[in-house]
Every structure is written in C-alpha cells, then in structure tokens.
Copies of this chain bind each other. A is one copy, B any other.
C-alpha cells in the first residue's frame, strides 16, 4: 500500500504578491500536491486577538474570499465593528472587518485551548474548500522587528500604524532562533521527490527571510535537489506593492531585480525576471542562477495561471 504522495511543489510566500502566484499555482497543477508555507513573522496580537496577516491573505485568496479592491481582508466586508470600537475609545489604526474578525476570534479561541496554529489553519482551509495545503512556517511565535530611525518597531506598527514611513536600517526576527519550523514543511523540503521550490514574489526582507531564519530551513533549502526558483518582486526598479524598493534604498542597496537574486544567492537555481527587466538577465546569470523572462505583473486570474505555468515549466527544464 502506498502512502498518499507528498507535495510535488513547495511555495514560500508572504501576503498579497505571493498569494497571487500561489493562486495561479493551484490552477496550474493539482492543488493537492501543492504546499504553501506562509510567513508568520508579521503575526501579532491586537485587541487580544491573534492576527496572522500573510496566512489570512493566502487563505482568503485561495478560498476566493479576498477583497480585490483593498488587497487585504475580505470581499463584501462590513465595518460596524470598527465604527463601534472607535466610539468606545478602542484602537483604530489596524482595521478589522466584521467578516475578517471571525477568523481572528475563532483562531484566538482555539489557540487558547492549546491547539497548534498549523492544525487550526488546516481545519479552516478545509472548511473553506481550499485544495492546497497552507502551512504556517512554525507553530512557535516569530515576531519581525523593523529597526528604524525611530527605533525598533514591531512589524505591524511599522507597516500599518507608521505607514512604512520611518527609515529602515535592518530587521530582527524575534524568536526565530528557537522556533521549530513546521515539521511537514521541513520534511517536504528534505523530500528527494520534491519537484519544485518556488519563492513567491514577496518582500525578501520581511516576508521570506523570516522563513529562511528558522533553524534548518536555509540549509535544507540549499541542499534540495529540486529546482529553487524565485520570482522577482521588483519590476523595472519598483515594487509592485509594498515597501520593498523603499527598504532597499534605505538599506543602501540598488533597487533592481539583480539585487533580489543576489539577496537569495546560492539558495536559488532559477530566477524569473519580468520582461521589462530582460536586459538584466546576464547579470543574474553571472551569479550562477538560470533566468527565465516572463510577464510577472499579475492582474487577472489568467495572468496568475500563466506565471505559475511559466514557473513550473522553468522548473521542469531546470531538472533536466
């Protein structure tokens, strides 16, 4: 009797940009063979609730519940809770929609009973009919701290409350050294049958690095025989969404896709450049990384599927 086959593809992802490609992957392959590992470094406790922004963006996106307008939260959202909270003097800088709130309340309740985040996430994904496995990088808390000119800021304070305004000088992933990577994630990463590892077009510093900072992840990734492909989150020297390019400038780094490839370095065997940046291919290749040029800006679902298919066929070619 054979065991159920393990994942064929593993994707590491942050929020919005990563979730777009992850959604494409669920259409471009059997979602039952896809594992998406979510950054939990930007998780935080707010109003007594456990909030996992990247995990939730992935969940809502793959369940078809995401708010396409805002890029975060849920569609058909209401704001009665926030309105009422404000009238009671509650904190209003982090907006929680009436529907979104249900996930935070239910997760917080279950965490308090001792259930691990991974099991709660798996159960919620199953209830929402998500075929792929969405897995938090760890059941242990990791908390990204952004070092800024205003001092160290917890990630959501930097990102939402301060609107990414303070100048960034570095990052610290509190708890990462002692956090155990999710067991299934690590097992999959070490599985010789794994066919593709995708680093989604997420912010490398705050969405992917926290995953790589977990004990054993970088080394297992580097040791994998599977193609290891990153999709550049920088297109034409700009970030499609979020503070990636601003952070690179403040860190004194060139704001181009080459720098993203350099950042991951030996962890990569392949790199997907946007067609706008086709001229950068030789520079990335000089780092010993194969390149594929594609349309990486994902507006429609077709864009997402097309990019996912490009990544998978790139991986297929790299294996030969």
- Which A residues form the contact surface with B (CB < 8 A)? 47-49, 74, 76-78, 80-85, 87-90, 97-103, 105-106, 108-109, 112, 123-124, 127-128
Contacts and interface: CB of A to CB of B under 8 A. Distances in A.
Given A88-B106, A89-B124, 18 more contacts: A47-B105, A48-B108, A48-B109, A48-B112, A49-B105, A74-B84, A76-B80, A81-B99, A81-B105, A84-B99, A84-B100, A84-B103, A88-B102, A88-B103, A88-B124, A88-B128, A90-B106, A98-B101
Contact of A80 (B48, B77, B108): B77
A103 B80 CA distance: 12
Contacts of A80: 76-78, 80, 97-99, 102
Contacts of A101: 81, 84, 98, 101
This chain: copies in complex: 2
Contacts of A106: 47, 85, 88-90
A112 B76 CA distance: 32
A102 B81 contact: yes
A81 B84 CA distance: 14
Contacts of A100: 84
Contacts of A124: 88-89
B102 A85 contact: yes
A76 B102 CA distance: 19
Contact of A105 (B83, B85, B89, B128): B85
Determine which residue in A77, A100, A102, A112 has the highest number of CB atoms from chain B within 10 A of its CB, and name it.
A102
Contacts of A108: 48
Nearest to A89: B127
Contact of A90 (B47, B99, B105): B105
Nearest to A96: B105
Contact of A98 (B48, B78, B89, B128): B78
Nearest to A63: B87
Contact of A84 (B48, B82, B84, B102): B102
Contacts of A83: 99, 102
Given A78-B78, A80-B78, A80-B98, A128 B47 contact: no
A25 to B, nearest CB: 24
A109 B47 contact: yes
